Amino acid sequence: MSIHAPKVLPYNGLRVVEFTHMVMGPTCGMVLGDLGAEVIKVEPPKGDNTRRLLGAGAGFFPMFNRNKKSLVLDLQTPEGKEAALKLIATADVFSENFKPETMQKLGLDYERLKVLNPRLIYVSHKGFLPGPYDHRTALDEVVQMMGGLAYMTGRSGDPLRAGSSVNDIMGGLFGAIGVMAALKQRETTGLGQKVESALFENNVFLVAQHMMQYAMTGVPANPMPERISPWGIYDVFRVRDDGQIFLAVVSDTQWAIFCQAFGFEDFKSDDRLATNNGRVLSREWMLPALRERLTGYSVAELVEKFESVGLPFAPITRPHDLLNDPHLLATGALAPITLPDGARAGEQASTVLFPFTLDGERPGVRLSPPELGAHSEALLRELGYDEAAIARLSRR
């Protein structure tokens, strides 16, 4: 499935060659592809293993590989490696997220490629930036555990990873930001450079606010479920029919509106609750009383009341429910793609676009996630290979 964007995008004409898998590296390529770059995903004859993941990994390939072309090359053969080098010689950006020794064995490390293509920007996505830990094998969950995020997400004694591949995704985003900076610098120097992004350092950036909290107060941050909230009402409430909703009242003005909306005159006139700090200090008795008063409402009734008076609220939502979210549907946040692999290959699905607009429009989907080798023939022909060579290189 091909969808043609109506406008010329910022990186139209930029060629990116990526040797990536899983989430971090593919995210970087997706950023550049969504912004108009031609992104060529080089895959081994059996394809990126991410295509075959089950369970929580089933969404990785279709989510992070849109707006890309698939080229199959066997880098274990001299002819396959030669084709890869020919392709890289035409590229502006080379992206990878394999172990350093893997790229060196393949002859695709930065020191060799910058000789082949001095203007090449080489972005490397790793577990750790160069240092004492860089020999370790990292995963998103590994760095969440060692980098303080799992501690902050869970309860004391029960570390819990975040419910998304936050470091992989953000590590890819930071890799793309580094590429953008290198492209700008290349305009002046005419030369490429190596860009590095890493999971651990990304995770540390995510928890830096808690590190600075300690610097400011001398008191270690408590896990989020046990933190001292700076606001009196800032909690999830279980209401009628076992529904759940997050409700917040974060200022004295909002407190007055809240009490008026629900007719809580006794709360409004209680001097202990007159200020936000007073409400924080009164949470031990105030919240149980408030929970009891709200149990008779349904989630829908609370949504209507909070929305009508402009107070913060959020029904507890499962990810798949967002496919039918009226706001996302109305604002063009979801776009159609054709699924490339698995039992549903060839079927239509909705994917999530980037959460920003350019001139009022979201960068969209020009190419669905590619079937394995879908663009091999055209790309090899462009590199000067004849039909016989293309047949040999494409053999799987």
Q: Is residue 305 part of a domain?
A: yes
The rounded mean pLDDT for the chain is: 96
Q: What is the pLDDT of residues 265-276, one digit of tens each?
A: 999 999 999 999
Domain-embedded: residue 218:
no
Q: Do 312 and 373 share a domain, yes or no?
A: no
What CATH number is associated with residue 194? 3.40.50.10540
Find the CATH number of the domain harbouring 248. 3.30.1540.10
What tokens were used for 128?
Answer: 């750790």
Last residue of a domain, one of 288, 318, 348: 318
Instruction: Mark whether 197 and 53 lie in a shared domain.
Output: yes
Q: Number of folded domains in the chain?
A: 2
Each residue's pLDDT tens digit, 205-240: 999 999 999 999 999 999 998 887 889 999 999 999
My answer on whether 201 and 84 are in the same domain is yes
Looking at the domain assignment, is residue 44 inside a domain? yes
Assigned domain for 326 exists:
no
Range of the domain at 270: 229-318
| Residues 312 and 336 occupy one common structural domain | no
Per-residue pLDDT tens over the stretch 6-21: 578 999 999 999 999 9
Whether 99 and 191 map to the same domain: the answer is yes
Residue 309 and residue 168 share a domain: no
Domain boundary among the residues 318, 344, 374 is at 318
My answer on whether 142 and 272 are in the same domain is no
Judge whether 325 lies within some domain: no
Tell whether 202 is covered by a domain.
Answer: yes
Give the tens place of pLDDT for each residue, 43-77: 999 999 999 999 999 999 999 999 999 999 999 99
Average pLDDT over residues 111-122: 98
* 143-158 residue pLDDT tens: 999 999 999 999 999 9
* Residue 167 sits in the same domain as residue 47: yes
Same domain, 77 and 107: yes
Residue 214 in domain: no
Same domain membership, residue 338 and residue 297 = no
How large a percentage of the chain has pLDDT more than 90? 94
pLDDT in tens, 180-189: 999 999 999 9
Which amino acid makes up residue 369? P
DSSP collapsed to 3 states, the chain: CECCCCCCCCCCCCEEEEECCCCHHHHHHHHHHHCCCEEEEEECCCCCHHHHCCHHHCCHHHHHCCCEEEEECCCCCHHHHHHHHHHHHCCCEEEECCCHHHHHHCCCCHHHHHHHCCCCEEEEEECCCCCCCCCCCCCHHHHHHHCCHHHHHCECCECCCCCCCHHHHHHHHHHHHHHHHHHHHHHHHCCCCEEEEEHHHHHHHHCHHHHHHHHHHCCCCCCHHHCCCCCCEEEEEECHHHCEEEEEECCHHHHHHHHHHHCCHHHHHCHHHCCHHHHHHCHHHHHHHHHHHHCCCCHHHHHHHHHHHCCCEEECCCHHHHHHCHHHHHCCCEEEEECCCCCCCCCEEEEECCCCCECCECCCCCECCCCCCCCHHHHHHHCCCCHHHHHHHHCC
- The residue from 261, 290, 318 where one domain ends is 318
- Both 162 and 194 in a single domain? yes
pLDDT on residue 6 = 53
189 and 237 assigned to the same domain: no
pLDDT score, position 226: 87
Please state the pTM of the whole predicted model: 0.93
For residue 5, tell me if it sits in a domain: no
